[in-house]
Amino acid sequence: MTRKVFNRRNILIGAVIVVGGGGMASALACRPDAESAALGEQLDRLRAALDDIVAPERIGRAYRAERGLSAVTAEFLDTPYLSMAAAYDCPAALRAHLRDQIRADFVAGDVVVADRFVVARSECILAALLA
């Protein structure tokens, strides 16, 4: 009697191993870059995050006019998930850190009205520095 090798259970287990292994490989590839200390390089990495912000130019302009560029830069350096996100080359890890910071802002009630948009302070900081 021969045994079926390709039954549903074996196929499902194989698929889980392949997907899980791929996820583990991408997680290992997305490690922070300790060499990226320069602020300009950090901001360049975060530029892709502007796609997730509604009207970043308007929000950035309004927030920059209200706070000033030096204050916005200091806020960026003092916001933990923003500076951690900037250390990642991997867009998925970068966006995950930014989502965590934005969520933390909303939970803490740290929101700003910038040019009639109610947004998290982290979004304002990014828009003011990058847009």
DSSP track, 14-68: HHHHHHHHHHHHHHHH----TT---HHHHHHHHGGGGGGSSSHHHHHHHHHHHH-
Note whether residue 83 is domain-resident.
yes
pLDDT of residue 112: 92
pLDDT of residue 97: 84
Domain that holds residue 88: 31-130
* Tokens 């910071």, located at residue: 101
pLDDT at 29 over 60: no
pLDDT at 22 over 50: no
pLDDT of residue 20: 45
Note whether residue 74 is domain-resident.
yes
Note whether residue 4 is domain-resident.
no
Structural domains in the chain (count)? 1
Percent of residues in the chain assigned helix, strand, coil, to nearest 5: 70, 5, 25
Note whether residue 26 is domain-resident.
no
Cβ count within 10 A of residue 117? 19
Q: Quick one: which of 95, 100, 119 has its CA closest to 46?
A: 95
Note whether residue 37 is domain-resident.
yes
* Cα dihedral value 107, 113, 114, 118, nearest 10: 60
Residue 11 — pLDDT band, cuts 50, 70, 90?
Answer: low
Note whether residue 68 is domain-resident.
yes
